[in-house]
């Protein structure tokens, strides 16, 4: 079994650059590869704690953009002025609440992000991860602008092809990408959808 290296170069780099977690570099690399987030965008980060993806998204959208996060756990770090976050459950929140966050009037999002993952037990983790992806996909029609983009983490398993098929029904382009910052031993990969069509297409 490969030994997990806790204090790897990305861990050290995150500390040096002021990011809350090494996962910041995953989003940086995904964005460099897929060009998800642009200046001025409105971004929704589902499962945002501890806040590293909020930090990266904030930098990418710039001062005229908006980043909104939600997580079961509070984000306690001091963050940039263009970031709004709240405690809540992605699987049960009313989408209208999400649209109202970080804006004087309800507004849809240009990009939806999800780095959510289950509390791993080693048994059935991929199924729980797929359920979280289903929750994200259930929100997309209510919160994502037409032509908007999505990226979400999944633990690869039997349900991955089904989730990817759903993405391909609703986006112009869809696929999977594993950034270099993901650990080699990890089952995680990131599913992306580019160009939301406004509703899933029939098979």
- The fraction of the chain above a pLDDT of 90, given in percent, is 76
Question: Can you give the pLDDT at residue 172?
Answer: 96
pLDDT at 22: 84
> According to the CATH classification, is domain 9-196 in 3.50.30.30?
no
67-121 pLDDT, tens digit per residue, is 999 999 999 999 999 999 999 999 999 999 999 999 999 999 999 999 998 876 6
Q: What is the pLDDT of residue 1?
A: 36
The pLDDT assigned to 20 comes to 83
pLDDT confidence of residue 15: 67
pLDDT of residue 97: 95
> Among 68, 196, 76, 189, which residue's Cα sits nearest to residue 137?
196
The pLDDT averaged over each successive group of 10 residues in the chain (203 residues) is 55 71 91 96 97 97 98 95 96 95 96 89 84 96 97 95 96 94 80 92 63
Catalytic residues: 153
What is the pTM for the complete model shown? 0.91
* pLDDT at site 17: 65
**Domain definitions of the chain by residue range:** 9-196
Per-residue pLDDT at 2: 41
């Amino acid at each position: 079994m490969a030994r997990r290296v806790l204090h790897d170069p990305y861990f050290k780099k995150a500390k040096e650059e002021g990011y809350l977690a090494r996962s910041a570099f995953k989003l940086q690399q995904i964005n460099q590869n897929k060009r998800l987030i642009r200046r001025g965008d409105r971004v929704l980060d589902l499962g945002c704690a501890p806040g590293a993806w909020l930090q990266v998204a904030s930098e990418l959208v710039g001062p005229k953009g908006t980043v909104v996060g939600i997580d079961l756990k509070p984000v306690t770090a001091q963050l940039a002025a263009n970031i709004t976050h709240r405690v809540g459950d992605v699987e049960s929140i009313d989408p209208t609440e999400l649209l109202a966050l970080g804006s004087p009037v309800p507004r849809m999002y240009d990009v939806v992000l999800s780095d959510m993952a289950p509390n791993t037990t080693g048994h059935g983790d991929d199924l729980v991860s797929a359920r979280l992806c289903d929750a994200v996909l259930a929100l997309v029609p209510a919160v994502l602008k037409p032509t908007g983009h999505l990226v979400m983490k999944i633990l690869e398993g039997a349900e991955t092809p089904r989730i990817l098929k759903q993405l391909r029904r609703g986006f112009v382009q869809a696929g999977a990408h594993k950034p270099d910052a993901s650990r080699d031993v990890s089952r995680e990969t990131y599913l992306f959808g580019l160009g939301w069509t406004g509703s899933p297409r029939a098979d």
